[in-house]
Amino acid sequence: MKNFLTPVVPLVNISKMLHKSNIFFKLESVNPVSHTFKDRGALSTVIQVQKEKKSLILAGTCSNMGVAISGMASKYGIDSIVIVSSSAPVGMITMIKKFSKKAIVIPGGFDEVNSFISEISNEFPDIPCVNSNFNKYFFDGYFSIIDELYIQLDHKQVYHIVVPTADGTLISSLYKRYQQISKKKKIAQLIFHLVQPAGCSPIVNAIHKNEKIKMLYDSYTKVIPLSVKNPSLYGERAKEAVIKTGGSGIKICENEIDNFTNMLINLEGLYSDKVGGVLLGAIFQLSKKVKKNENILGIYTGNGLVYAGEGSENQIESLKQAKNHLYQLLENKNVHKS
């Protein structure tokens, strides 16, 4: 599989501010389609779709996954239908509609979209769906981040890996690949830290309380890509990654996120979204705790360009309208229910 080698760069000005010389970002923002780590999962998925000689991908999204899937599918000549949350930024929805003419916007956030697309996937089980029967291939695409770090990092050093987390899929995939490589080769010691915004932090809550993850019913965060209230299975795996490596769960106060985001923009020249602000907030906390000879490496999952995109307001369809619209698209593809 051809992956995208993204650089590990020092945060020069932030390091000076914190009196540290060992703070780095892995810039997943330079991936070519969505400018996020989601491109890795999209490429892995598209390759599997090609192997199975399918011509259509279904996906439900409230963030960059929809951009990555629709763009990568377009690049490889595969059709896509993307169900998009109304909470997604206008610029993001505009990008998805540019890549895929079959994008449908429905009300709600991640959990509502995930429920809707799961229902559709159950009705049409033969169609590759990123959120259900093909999610393994999507998440396995994240393995390539660790494959690259194996090359990029000093194997004699300790690195605190900081991962902004929504449902836990990224950090759990990174830990799984780290385990696989560690059994066969010498690799730098990685300690995984999971960070979430305080307004929606079900996994961090569970880590702090040493208990199973509980779904949040009354929560709000300004960081839409990290607004998953019910992380389910992958959340528990993310917890394991933190606990097994001696890491930590970190919360960032909602009223601090914009300040940290602006610091990345103004001090490091990174046009960041609020996820980057959450990540930097965690690095500020960790910098006070890690040993002087240990490194901090943040997984900078993507930039803020989709939030700067211009586009008109997008039509939001009711669930009934969305389902009828989707059925019509599938009929045109000669796909029928099981």
Q: What is the CATH number of the domain that holds 284?
A: 3.40.50.1100
Rounded to an integer, the average pLDDT of 48-53 is: 96
Residue 95: inside a domain: yes
Work out the mean pLDDT of the chain and round it to a whole number.
Answer: 92
Q: Are residues 134 and 146 in the same domain?
A: no
Q: Are residues 109 and 257 in the same domain?
A: no
pLDDT digits (tens, 9 = 90+) for 208-244: 999 999 999 888 999 988 988 989 789 999 999 999 9
Contact 299, 250 (CB under 8 A): no
Q: Are residues 133 and 150 in the same domain?
A: no
Domain that holds residue 294: 8-31+142-303
Q: Are residues 103 and 161 in the same domain?
A: no
Q: Exposed (0-12), middle (13-18) or buried (19+): which is 212, by Cβ within 10 Å?
A: exposed
Residue 338: inside a domain: no
Residue 1: inside a domain: no
C-alpha to C-alpha distance for 329 and 72, rounded to whole angstroms: 20
pLDDT classification of 310: cutoffs 50, 70, 90: very low
pLDDT classification of 338: cutoffs 50, 70, 90: confident
Q: Are residues 81 and 105 in the same domain?
A: yes
Q: Are residues 199 and 57 in the same domain?
A: no
Q: Are residues 18 and 161 in the same domain?
A: yes
pLDDT digits (tens, 9 = 90+) for 57-110: 999 998 789 999 999 999 999 999 999 999 888 888 888 999 998 899 999 987
C-alpha to C-alpha distance for 77 and 100, rounded to whole angstroms: 11
Q: Token pair of 282, please?
A: 């965690």
pLDDT digits (tens, 9 = 90+) for 193-206: 999 999 999 999 99
C-alpha to C-alpha distance for 192 and 276, rounded to whole angstroms: 17
pLDDT classification of 261: cutoffs 50, 70, 90: very high
What pLDDT, on the 0 to 100 scale, is given for residue 1?
Answer: 45
Contact 192, 171 (CB under 8 A): yes
Residue 25: inside a domain: yes
Q: Are residues 175 and 259 in the same domain?
A: yes
Residue 241: inside a domain: yes
Residue 234: inside a domain: yes
pLDDT classification of 151: cutoffs 50, 70, 90: very high
Rounded to an integer, the average pLDDT of 111-115 is: 89
Residue 337: inside a domain: no
In the chain, the number of structural domains is: 2
Q: Are residues 187 and 261 in the same domain?
A: yes
What pLDDT, on the 0 to 100 scale, is given for residue 312?
Answer: 53
Q: Are residues 149 and 272 in the same domain?
A: yes
Q: Are residues 193 and 129 in the same domain?
A: no
Q: Are residues 123 and 13 in the same domain?
A: no
Residue 64: inside a domain: yes
